[in-house]
A and B are shown apart, each in its own frame.
Chain A
Amino acid sequence: MKDSCSSISKLLEKYFDRETTGDEGILVQDHLRQCAVCQAQLKSMEELRTTLRAPVDEAVQKETFAWVWQKIEREIQDRAKPSWRESIRAWFGLSFPFRRRVWIPAVAVALLIIAIGSPLLFKETPSQTELSIVEYVQSDTHNVMVFESERENVAIIWLFEGTEGESST
């Protein structure tokens, strides 16, 4: 019983979340018929879910959101501005170059020329930062050391755990 419990326990949560495959589900159901421990665990998860969910269901049911949209609308309206295109057009009084049939093909051709020409014009030369292996490192919970050795072509990122983390700066 113990062995099957340990293999089923990995599937139990998946079963509870209805994410098991057909075969996995049958395996769990068969085990549950005979195992009070796993049944109790499943029940425990159900109770936790009810505790977490019920107050939220109740709160949503009662909520009318009456004034929320008005506040949002006011915020959006305050921030509405004419687009830069409209501003330029209005100021210069231009219209012809901004017609779609003119600027769309013009932009497309320009992009094509850039796409073909740029690999030839701008050959990639590795900068000093390009040569490094580590681009960035972030940890909110541990002190971290980064060491890059060009000779060995190796970079080390070391996470200090436990008392090491407290002493290092």
Chain B
Amino acid sequence: MGYEEADLISRCQNGDQVAMKEIFDEYRDKVYRVAYGVVRHREEALDIVQEVFIKLFRTIGNFKGKSSFYTYVYRTAMNTAIDHVRKLKKSTSLSFEDDAERYLSDGPEKRPDQVAMDKELEEKVKEALARLPDDQRAAIIFREVEGLSYEEMAKAMSCSMGTVMSRLHYGRKKLQQLLRGYVKEGGQT
């Protein structure tokens, strides 16, 4: 952890809200990427971002600096996103009309049939991700969406690098099966 970040965290631990805003600005994109990567829905992802930062600032006093702060952030983000998905499974699913509107209103250059196809693909991806075990899903999001290294993933998921590779391998295999016909397979045009 750099000196500046350590100083920021220390200020956060003392309740400095300016420091908290700096941490938020620094990490909000990363947290949103993880959240959106898991839930594939804007409003849900923003709810998760809010929840993650509230949790982080509430518990920042317990952060001792033994691991790096960003793996701490990633771990919190992923756990919160997964918990959110679990809670949603128990209640009714959100309407996708909001998303449809958003898709239709974004970019006048997209044809309606293309928008509809994108929407269908997103739904399929969301379903496929939901069918993965939590740890495989986390590995896929960390690697494919966030681009974390195996070592960073091992720290964020508190497991060995061998386990990281195993989860990635089986996660990718399962996703390729579930998304067959939706994702171009190598060699197809």
Which residues in A have some Cβ–Cβ distance to B below 8 Å? 13-14, 17, 19, 36, 39-49, 51-53, 55-56, 59-60, 62-63, 65, 68-69, 71-73, 75-77, 79-80
Contacts and interface: CB of A to CB of B under 8 A. Distances in A.
B186 A42 contact: yes
Contacts of B172: 13, 45, 48
Contact of B165 (A14, A52, A65): A14
B42 interface: yes
Nearest to B147: A53
Question: Main SS of chain B's interface residues?
Answer: helix
Interface stretch (B1-9, B25-33, B63-71, B75-83): B25-33
Contact of B28 (A48, A65, A71, A76): A65
Contacts of B50: 68, 71-72, 75
B186 A44 contact: yes
A128 B10 CA distance: 43
Interface in B19-78: 20-21, 24, 28-29, 32-33, 36-37, 40, 42, 45-46, 49-50, 53-54, 57-58
A34 B115 CA distance: 39
B179 interface: yes
A59 B36 contact: yes
20 contacts: A39-B187, A40-B187, A43-B185, A44-B184, A45-B172, A48-B175, A48-B176, A56-B33, A56-B36, A60-B36, A63-B42, A68-B46, A68-B50, A68-B53, A71-B50, A72-B57, A75-B54, A76-B54, A76-B57, A80-B15
